[in-house]
Amino acid sequence: MSQPDELTRAAVAAIAIEIALPLCGLGLIVWRFLLGPGARARREARLAEWRLPPIDFGCFLCFGFLGATALSGTAGLAFRHVAMGADATAIVGYAAMEGGFLLGIAAFYGLFGARVRGAAGPPSLLAALKSGLATFLIAMPLVDAVNYASEFAITRMGFPNEKQEIVDIFENIHSPALRWLFVALAAFLVPAAEEILFRAGLFRYFRTRMPRWIAIGLTSALFGALHVAWGEHLAGLPSLLPLVALAVVFCLAYERTGMIGTTIVAHALFNLNSMFLVVAGIGS
């Protein structure tokens, strides 16, 4: 986390919040797993096995990626003659890709029906909000600790310490409309699309077919790796291990609650917190 030479009131308030969040998370961890009622009781996972045939799982992935490709391509053609800057083009492209993925998955479930859904209880918005907030708070101290250790190791080993391209775009947005579009993208489309792909898709499928810790580790490593630009400058490398740690917490929370809404809410809160840090000028 980088800090300016002179902290504004907003930056001081942001630092106070960023200190409070992991402390709240640590308190919640102690209460849930050590001191609270039933803390030592065995907790049964509510996520049912997803015995989807491989061909159907392949269709799940194909529908999602075809939807992303189709809508992003359509958006590219529609805005081809509209004068937009590089940042605006990138944001619209991201929004179309994530929205297209969600439309593709919706089409998959609409065509294949209940036989591919797996066992799941009725969704509960209130339960998802509560468990999502708890998951976000529990993840914060772990992610912060891994982040500091990762930045220290990257600096000592001389690796590039560049932020993600998408963060750089957000920092340089000057249009209010584009900024609100970016917020909507980060708070709604990205969490929904990535959680459906990584947790409700890849993790749920592999968890049924291999030891759970391999499924957790494999999908979490893939989640972190896809947020790094593996080119010459390795943009986003400092976020690799923190995002892997975040994904592990999300897998465990999804397994425990059986609700993908839990991790969508937690993911949205994490993204909003990250944007808050950038706006406050104390981190990237």
Site of tokens 């969508």: 264
Q: Assess whether 172 and 271 both reside in one domain.
A: yes
Is there a domain that residue 2 lies in?
no
Q: Assess whether 267 and 129 both reside in one domain.
A: yes
pLDDT in tens, the chain (284 residues): 444 456 777 788 888 988 999 999 999 999 888 787 776 666 777 898 999 999 999 999 999 999 999 999 999 888 887 777 778 888 989 999 999 999 999 999 999 987 787 766 667 889 999 999 999 999 999 999 999 999 899 888 888 777 788 888 888 888 888 889 999 999 999 999 999 999 999 999 999 999 999 999 999 999 999 998 887 677 788 899 999 999 999 999 999 999 999 999 999 999 999 998 888 777 66
Report the C-alpha gap between 164 and 192 in whole angstroms.
20
CA 116 to chain centre: 24
Q: Assess whether 98 and 175 both reside in one domain.
A: no
Is there a domain that residue 45 lies in?
no
The CA-based diameter of the chain, rounded to the nearest angstrom, is: 62
H helix runs in 31-124, sequence order: 54-78, 86-112
Q: How many structural domains does the chain have?
A: 2
* Domain assignment of residue 226, given as a range: 8-34+123-284
Is there a domain that residue 41 lies in?
no
Q: Assess whether 140 and 277 both reside in one domain.
A: yes
Final residue of a structural domain among 64, 89, 117: 117
Helix-strand-coil split of the chain, %, nearest 5: 75, 0, 25
